[in-house]
Structure formats: C-alpha cells, structure tokens
Structure 1
C-alpha cells in the first residue's frame, strides 16, 4: 500500500506543473458528471402518453425523476383549467429544464482543456529534454533528459486519461438530455390538447 502511494506521488511529481490543474479538473469533472447523472434520472421508462393515461387512472409513478416531476406539475395545472396553459407549462417546467442542463458547459470546458494542458506539459518536457541534450546531462536537479521525457509522456497520458472517459460519458448524458427535452415537449403537447377517453377514464376511476 505504501509503495503504491509512493509510486502515485512520484508519478504526479514527474508530471510537473500541469499535474495539479489536471487533478483538480478530474475531481470537478467527475463530480459534475455524477450530478448530471442524478439530474437526468427520468423516474420511469414509459412514454409521455402512457404516463398521462396512467396518471388519469390513478396509477402514479412511484420513483422520483424529472419526467415524474413535470408530469405532476403539468397535470396539476391542467386540472385547474387555466387559460393559455402552454405558457403556464413553460414556466412550471423551466426549473426542471434548467436542472438537466446544469454543469454541461463546465464538463465540455474540462474535456477540451485537459488534453491542451497535457500538450503544454509535453512541450515543457521536450524543452527540458533538448536543454539537457545541450550539456549532455542525463540526470540533473531539474530532471535532465530522463526527467524531460518522463514529464512529456506523463502529461500527455494524464490529459487524455481525463478527457476521453469524460467525453464518452458526457456524450451519453447529452443524448439522454435531448431525449428528455423531446419527451417534455411531447408532454406539453399532450396536456394542451384534448385527451381521447379522458372523461370515461376519470368516471371509471371515481366509481
């Protein structure tokens, strides 16, 4: 355990000055990705139309999620028979729509910047390598040829290790966000239109 920890410390030390920003960026990246994963939970796998009909039958979704919350808000407004329902739905759903977009920009920024920081470390390491070649110092206080090459490789690796997984997970979450936005728009259309069989369903439920 001690040896592994020491190897990690040596690894980050050899990476040079770009390693602390990359480590901080990694922590922020995965915290924000985790937040978006939680925010993008729909609470149900059913379509908006099915959700509305089940709601009318009194079969409320038991899990919490963005689609369940907007359904409750939307049906509550619809039952009030307010004029210009679409505008009220836009206002009621805006909080949820903002929530599913939260931290998207921060994630994109980190995914873009991380490889550039790695490249900066690579350039810095190569400069140190060429300077050491000038006086043929394989090892020196500043790192020498070996230290320069080590820094160049480590920072490149770290930058890509931060960026690539973040890019993949972010892409999956962005696709899920788009699907939720489409479903919210469909739910608005359903709530603003007459629902076939609504009166019969409500009467059966009340009997």
Structure 2
C-alpha cells in the first residue's frame, strides 16, 4: 500500500503545477454529478404506477407520497383547466429547471478537464524545448524527460476525469428526460380527467 501511494505521489508531482487545478476541477465535476444523481434518485417519479396516478387524479384526497402531493396541488381549488396547466408547469420548472442548470454546469466542467490537460501538454512541451535549447548543459536529458512527463500526465489526467464524467452525465440526462416524460404524462392524464369533471377551459 505504501509503495502504491508513493507511486501516485511521484506521478502527481511529475505532472507539474496544473495538477492542482485538475484536482480541484475533478472534485467539482464529481461533486456536481453526485448531487444531480442523488436528487434524481430521490425524485424518481417515473417508476411509479400510471394506473395509480389515474385513481389519485380521480380522487385527489386519497393520493399519497410525492406523486400524490403533485396531483393534489394540481387540482386543489382550481377554477379552470388553465389553472391546472399553470400549476403543473410550475412543478415542472421547479424540478427540470434546476436540473437543467446543474447539468449545464457539469457539462462545462467536464469539457474543461481535457482542455486543462491540453494546456499541461503545451507547458510540458515548452519545458522540453527549453531543455533542448540548453543542450550544452549536463541536465538536458532530465529537463527533456521532465517536460515530456508533464505533457503526458496532465493530458492523461484530463481524459481520466472527463471520460467517466461524460458517462455519468449521460446517465443523469437520461434520468432527467424520464422525469420530464413523467410530468408530460401526468399533465395529459390530469387535463383529460379534469375536463370530464366539467371544469371550464378558462375563466
């Protein structure tokens, strides 16, 4: 275990100064993705039973849980179908609007990771050329090796941060789409049943 830690520290130190921004960026990426996925799992409405929704829409007083709260709010003391649309749009915006903002933030962070690694590649190559330029010195090989090492390690680190991040981001986007589809189904079912009750289109 000690040897592994020493190897990691050695590789990390060989990456140069840009390894610190990459570490901060990695922490931000995965904290943001974790926050998004936890929120989506806590509000996983798409797994609920649509048949149960229909019963609760017909009898809002019997509705239970988070889905029940949504259905009750959508119909409580409404005076027109437009009221129902407005309330469901409000609920959708609370969830989907927040998620879209966080997903965009995560996407920007993930896209920044390989670019930061590329910046490390440039600085590493500059160090390499600097070593070649001072070829008369005795430490030329060390300077060239250090520059190449920095160039490769930062690029690799940026990709290692970005690739799993893109995978998790795609999972989060799929779950977000499922939530959006849930709100669309609920809106359609609610409006159909409210219309049957004789609620006017608008005041």
1:140-191 per-position Cα deviation (integer Å, ceiling 9, x unaligned):
6xx5011011101101100100111101110121122112112212211211
Moved more, 115-124 or 76-85: 76-85
Equivalent-residue separation in structure 2 for 1:16 and 1:114 (angstroms): 15
Asked whether the 8 Å contact 1:75–1:191 carries over to 2, the reply is no
1:90-118 per-position Cα deviation (integer Å, ceiling 9, x unaligned):
22442222333242122111111111111
SS of residue paired to 1:82: coil
**Residue 14 (structure 1) shift:** 1.0
Give the structure 1 partner of residue 38 of structure 2. Answer: 38
Give the structure 1 partner of residue 19 of structure 2. Answer: 19
Give the structure 2 partner of residue 3 of structure 1. Answer: 3
SS of residue paired to 2:100: coil
Matches within 5 A, 1:193-204: 193-194=192-193
Q: Give the structure-1-normalised TM-score.
A: 0.78
**Residue 12 (structure 1) shift:** 1.7
Q: Give the structure-2-normalised TM-score.
A: 0.80
Equivalent-residue separation in structure 1 for 2:180 and 2:162 (angstroms): 26
The 1:78–1:138 alpha-carbon spacing in structure 2 relative to 1, beyond 3 Å, is farther
The 1:32–1:188 alpha-carbon spacing in structure 2 relative to 1, beyond 3 Å, is same
Give the structure 2 partner of residue 173 of structure 1. Answer: 172
**Residue 75 (structure 1) shift:** 2.6
Instruction: Name the count of aligned residue pairs.
Output: 189
Cα RMSD (Å): 2.7
More helix by share: 2
Asked whether the 8 Å contact 1:54–1:60 carries over to 2, the reply is no
Runs of at least 5 residues in structure 1 that lack an aligned partner in the other structure? 62-67, 199-207
Asked whether the 8 Å contact 2:88–2:183 carries over to 1, the reply is no
Equivalent-residue separation in structure 2 for 1:39 and 1:184 (angstroms): 16
Equivalent-residue separation in structure 2 for 1:197 and 1:46 (angstroms): 24
**Residue 46 (structure 1) shift:** 3.4
**Residue 88 (structure 1) shift:** 2.2
Give the structure 2 partner of residue 65 of structure 1. Answer: none
